[in-house]
Amino acid sequence: MSDPERAPDGGRSADSVVTPADVEAAGDRIADVVHRTPLDRSTTFAELSGAASVGLKLENAQRTGSFKIRGAYNLMSQLPPETLERGVVASSAGNHAQGVALAGRLLGADATIVVPEVTPAAKIEATRGYGAEVVVEGDIYERSYERALELAEREGREFVHPFDDERIIAGQGTVALELLEQYPEVDTALVAVGGGGLISGIATVLKDRDPDVRVIGVQPEGAFHAKPSLEGDEIHELSEVDTAAEGIADTRLLERTFAVVRERVDDVVAVSDREMSVAVTLLAERAKTVAEAAGAAPLAALLSGAVDVEGEHVAVVVSGGNANLTGHAELVRTGLLELGRYAEVRLSVADWPTAVGRVADAVESRGAELDALERARRTRADDPNRTPVRLGIEGSGPDHLGDVLDALADVAGVEVVDRALADEPADATARSPD
């Protein structure tokens, strides 16, 4: 007689972890707490990718700035009063921290969150703002996770796992309940994967509605563990991660998420940090929305051609927008460089600072934006009778920036000594969207 808890090969079955009914129940449980986030259709991204349509599910507009409040509240609202009274412990790269902190405040439970050292300051301060205690410990998430487990055991408190818990997975799956109401024609859903909680919940709902809907996971090249897990049919753990997308910089799936992902997720693809920076940039410019690198990963997969979506209706889950402003600005600048729309230029000028006006006029007369103009650090190669100057210039593309640099070379007393243009614009986004 077959065991419903086990897959045919003896591993745990997806249905033993989470079912569509579990997600429906979670939806009822969290309805008065979470926002119903918008679905923004993007003609620009459809044209750039060849899709019939693209729907951006904007979980960056959720309470706490990401989808994580869904799972955290679903789990914590089911804890007995005496457990809540003792308080909870969690580990997080930042977004789960805020979800647990807010859920704790709403339910009257003290929360302690252990975060790795790479966690952006904005996420730490926001977590503290919801009333949680934050402990910064560990060079990567796994070390923070181990420390949080130690704290929970020592103090007799409930550990709220960021992804490998059926109540967390069910809560995250409520994203798909809204998605199907807002975008019922969806053919393919692109979802970021860290530990796999979000994609497990979303795939559970979408595959139940229509088994032919594709659910594709997206991970950074520097944290690409899910695909090897699927190919090897066992959990593959990375020894280290290296990515700007700290929100999905996990080293592995775990038992529950692996069980669901291997049965219900069609594929997992990788994107580079540079491709994510392009996606962050275009989300800000075209969709008028702020996304962190992890939240932009699915759009990066769409625009880079990592997934063939020709003629399809594609849902892109923008899972979070908790970015430091300086970090976001750096990602945008990298994205513009990748698009061939930003140049960093070193000049050698005579008659500083009166030459500044001539330089600014030359840039602006060609319709470009002067992002930075400052004295550069002098090197031994610089002429001692001239001033080294660093410029940052934004334009519409490589040809436009080339015209600006030619104009600068014609300015009296100015010599262009180095022009750091991107070698080639990113293929899928070389065209300027209109």
Catalytic amino acids?
68, 319
Handedness of CA 409, 411, 417, 419 (dihedral sign): negative
Count CA within 13 A, CB hemisphere, residue 244. Answer: 24
Sheet of 342-349, strand order: 369-375, 387-394, 342-349, 414-421
Spell out a b/e string for 202-213, using b for 16 or more CB atoms within 10 Å of the CB, else e: bbbbbbbeeeeb
Residue among 22, 162, 160 nearest 14 (CA): 22
Strands ordered across the beta sheet of 53-58: 39-41, 53-58, 313-318, 188-192, 214-220, 267-271
Residues pairing with 387 in the sheet: 349
Give which of 3, 37, 53 is closest to 314, Cα–Cα.
Answer: 53
Q: Under a CB-based contact definition with an 8 Å cutoff, are residues 426 and 304 in contact?
A: yes
A 10 A CB-CB count for 145 gives 22
Closest CA to 99 of 25, 39, 160: 160
